[in-house]
Amino acid sequence: MMSGNYTSLDNQKVSGSVPAVPDPGHVAVKFSDSHLQTFPPSDAKGKIVGGSGPPRDADDTFSKSALGPDDSQPSGWFSMFSVASYKPYFDVDTSDVLERIKDSLFPFRGSFNEKTSGNPDLYGPFWICTTLIFVAASIGTFVTYIAHKLKKEQWNYDINLVTWSAGLFYGYVTVVPLGLYIILKYFSAPSGLVQLLCLYGYSLFVFIPALCLSVVPLDIFRWVVAGVAGFMSATFVALNLRAHIKSAGERWFLIVAAIFLLQLALAVVLKIYLFTVEV
């Protein structure tokens, strides 16, 4: 009898421990509409999404429209220290720069000053000088490296090529036009300083392919390349300034000759300093 009671109790425990779960059937799961199919949302705001293009000025600090009624631009010599005063000289596009570079490669036309008198730029001269610094340093380093390797000599990189090239090109395109500006003003034949900077900057473009050709390991060929580049650059500057300098009086020929010889001297300095090592 004891065993029968235990069995009935066990049956009651087993039957009570697992309750019956009704079958809910098919349950439909619904998701709320999250609008993920529209990106970005139509009500998004911001400079990139809301605007249809880039801002008119990259830096509104120097924009005339950003100045309030009480703001004023510096005048006189103080304008040299204002970024806004230099913005018009960088207002050129690619076609303008390419056209001016093309004119510099045809020096006998002598029409560069007439074409750029209304809109001389400093953008092209800056990047021409910067490219010349890189090309002169890299080509000069490559030539000396090959020469030392062929002679089985130890080669050390000369960082002075970069600093020397930067000082030469940036200094030349700044100091020479400034000196010419003062001389022309003294002879009562003043010319715009920015116009002179623009002219001299583009006159240096011919030295970029000349430096690249100087990789050829023939000294006579390098002299020919330097001479042709110097002659083209000097002719370009002299012919474009000749008509203007004639108003300086009887000494105009001396000024043009000095301009011509100075450009040739630049080509000689580049040849002697950068490519004196024989491969």
Q: Is residue 3 part of a domain?
A: no
Q: Is residue 152 part of a domain?
A: yes
Q: Is residue 82 part of a domain?
A: no
Q: Is residue 171 part of a domain?
A: yes
Condensed to tens digits (0 to 9), the pLDDT of residues 70-129 reads 445 555 556 666 677 778 888 888 999 999 999 999 999 888 988 888 889 999 999 999
Note the pTM of the prediction, 2 decimals.
Answer: 0.69
- Peptide bond just before 40 cis, omega within 30 deg: yes
Q: How many CB atoms within 10 Å of residue 88?
A: 13
Which residues are CB-contacts of 103 (< 8 A; sequence separation ≥ 6)?
Answer: 109, 111, 112, 115, 202
State how many domains the chain has.
1
Q: Is residue 137 part of a domain?
A: yes
Condensed to tens digits (0 to 9), the pLDDT of residues 164-203 reads 889 999 999 999 999 999 988 888 777 889 999 999 999 9
Residue 44's SS3 state is: coil
| Mean residue pLDDT across the chain | 75
Condensed to tens digits (0 to 9), the pLDDT of residues 20-49 reads 555 555 555 554 444 444 444 444 443 333
Task: Report the alpha-carbon distance of residue 5 to residue 183 in Å, rounded.
Answer: 129
DSSP 211-222: HHHTTSS-HHHH
Q: Which of 81, 84, 78 is nearest to 62 (CA)?
A: 84
- Identify the burial level of 199 via C-beta atoms within 10 angstroms of its C-beta, where 0-12 means exposed, 13-18 middle and 19 or more buried: buried
What's the token pair of residue 106? 């045809």
Which residues are CB-contacts of 119 (< 8 A; sequence separation ≥ 6)?
Answer: 91, 92, 96
Residue 153 is part of which domain span?
111-274
Task: Report the alpha-carbon distance of residue 24 to residue 183 in Å, rounded.
Answer: 102
Q: Is residue 42 part of a domain?
A: no
